[in-house]
Amino acid sequence: MRVRGEAAQRSEVMQQNALSPGLPRRAIGFTLLELLVVLAIVAIASAGVGFALRDDTQVRLEREALRLGALLEAARAQSQVSGVATRWLVTAQGFRFEPEVATGNDASARAWLDGDTRARVEANATTPANVLLLGPDAILLPQTVTLFSARQADKRVPLATDGVRPFAVRQEAP
């Protein structure tokens, strides 16, 4: 019986120590600093996962659209300087310019960077299918080229001009 009495007394003393402000307490739980460190680690890890999960097909199409926009603007400028109309045509392997535009005499400049990339020119009443007119006038008709993936047709990037401004990637609503 005496053992039980001592255990009960120790329990009572521990409860009094926890409730008494003047006596030292045992640390229970985590400090604010520890919680902030864990929160920072979780935030960095989730950001890393977000970047790792970015769609590679969409990135390739955006890169291809930026490259094509630069080539179209170079052809447009060359057409204005020379006074000769330039047409951009979609081909099975990529695209071509008529008359040929100086792109560094490299045939790869007229092929898609990714073999999965395809292009379609939005229908226009004055131009044939899959053809863009790039000059020689300074002001063109509004024109749009849509780049898309052959394997994932829902992945697409539109490249457009209003006829005055340069070709630029246009953001589509999801």
Three-state SS for 49? helix
Count of CB atoms situated within 10 Å of the CB of 112: 19
For residue 74, is pLDDT > 70?
yes
* pTM reported for the whole predicted model: 0.65
Tell me how far CA of residue 40 lies from CA of 47, 48, 70, 115, in angstroms. Answer: 11, 12, 41, 41
Q: What share of the chain is helix, strand, coil (3-state, %, to 5)?
A: 40, 20, 40
Which CATH number is correct for 56-169, 1.10.150.120, 3.20.20.140, 3.55.40.10, 3.40.190.10?
Answer: 3.55.40.10
Give the pLDDT confidence score for residue 24 in this predicted structure. 55
Count of CB atoms situated within 10 Å of the CB of 131: 15
Per the model's pLDDT, the better-predicted residue between 36 and 109 turns out to be 36
Mean predicted lDDT score pLDDT of the chain: 81
- Nearest by Cα to 41 from 52, 29, 49, 30: 49
Give the pLDDT confidence score for residue 160 in this predicted structure. 92
